[in-house]
Structure formats: structure tokens, C-alpha cells
Structure 1
Amino acid sequence: MLHDPNHLYIFDTTLRDGEQVPGCQLTTSEKVDIAKDLEKLGVDIIEAGFPVSSPGDFQSVVELSKAVDDVIICALTRANKNDIDVAADALKFAKRPRIHTGIGSSD
């Protein structure tokens, strides 16, 4: 893939940040369906989840990694070795993996 410096990348956080809305809880199957739709829409990057936060979130990232081909699957993680290792493991099936790190500023 050639890098186009003029390409505007679309980075979607629906599957991770969208679940922060009170009352919103998606199943892994629903997340896979949404990811496939986002891929069809031409989204470049999907932030799939925060794998270290729970076994369910880890498994969702694994399944999303298997479900799409042309989109980058991204896992959010804190900037420490253990969390990065867990995220990398969750992304092992992704054809185009990415890890998005951050340093938490609240407890």
C-alpha cells in the first residue's frame, strides 16, 4: 500500500468509546456486524476496545481482528509493558493491527 500524504484518515471509536454511553452494551456479535459495516463505509481505522479491561473486551478485540480485512484494527491501552503485551496478543489475528496508547490522568 502506498502512503498518500493527502489522504484524510477516518479513525472510528464507536466500538470502544461508544460503549461509555450509559445503557449501551454491545455483544461481540453486534460489534463484528458494526465493524463490517464501518469497513464497507471506508473507515480506515477502528478502535476495537481496551483488551486489558476485561476478558470480554479482550475476546471482542480478537474476534474483530479476525472479522475484517481492509481496515486497521486498533486496541487502546495504557502506556505500560503489560497492557501493551495484552493488546498485542488480542490483535494477533489482525491483518492490519495498531496499538493506541495513553497515560491515564484520573483514578
Structure 2
Amino acid sequence: MRTAILAQTVLAVLFLPAGAFFAWAAEGEAKPFALFFSLVWTVGCGFLFFRGRNALKELRKETFALDFSLEGEDSSSSRLRELEELRRDHLISEEEYGKKRAEIMEEKW
């Protein structure tokens, strides 16, 4: 996940000059469309850059929101595997992993 966010941020920076190039290269009747397109392109690249930068900061702080629910799973082993995968991808902290693992193990036994 961290790699995907980093790639998004880098690509946003690399594509940003393309917006200026579109506006500069347009001639004649295409100039107003090119200016509008350039503006939209630049805003989009800026949005992707700042979104990626903020996501990377959150991952470093380990404050990334947990958007998963392990309730309703059939087997404890599949829940434990999913939990281990979240820990391996650094989406949850060691403390969160330990708490949730203990809950699952208590339910199983």
C-alpha cells in the first residue's frame, strides 16, 4: 500500500508540467479549451500529490483508519490470517494486532 501511495505522489509531480505544456502548445481556436484543460489537469495533479503526501504521513504515524471488520467470519483461522496480513502491511500497529488476536483467541477457546 505504501508503494502505491508513493507512486501516486511521484506520478502527480511528474505529470504536473504536462498541464502547462498543453496550454503553451495550443494555438488558435483550441487555446481556450487547452487553458481550461490545463487548469483541470493542474488541479487534479495537485489533489493527487497532497492526498498522497497526507496518506504517507498518516502511515508513518500509524494513524491510518481501520476500515475492516472481522465480525461474522466463519473460521478463526481465516480471521487470524487476515489480521496477520494487516499487520504485515503496516496497516495496524503491534498493539492493535495483539488486542484483536487476543479477542479472536478468546472466542475460539
Report the TM-score, using the length of structure 1 for normalisation: 0.29
TM-score (norm 2): 0.28
Which structure has the bigger radius of gyration?
2
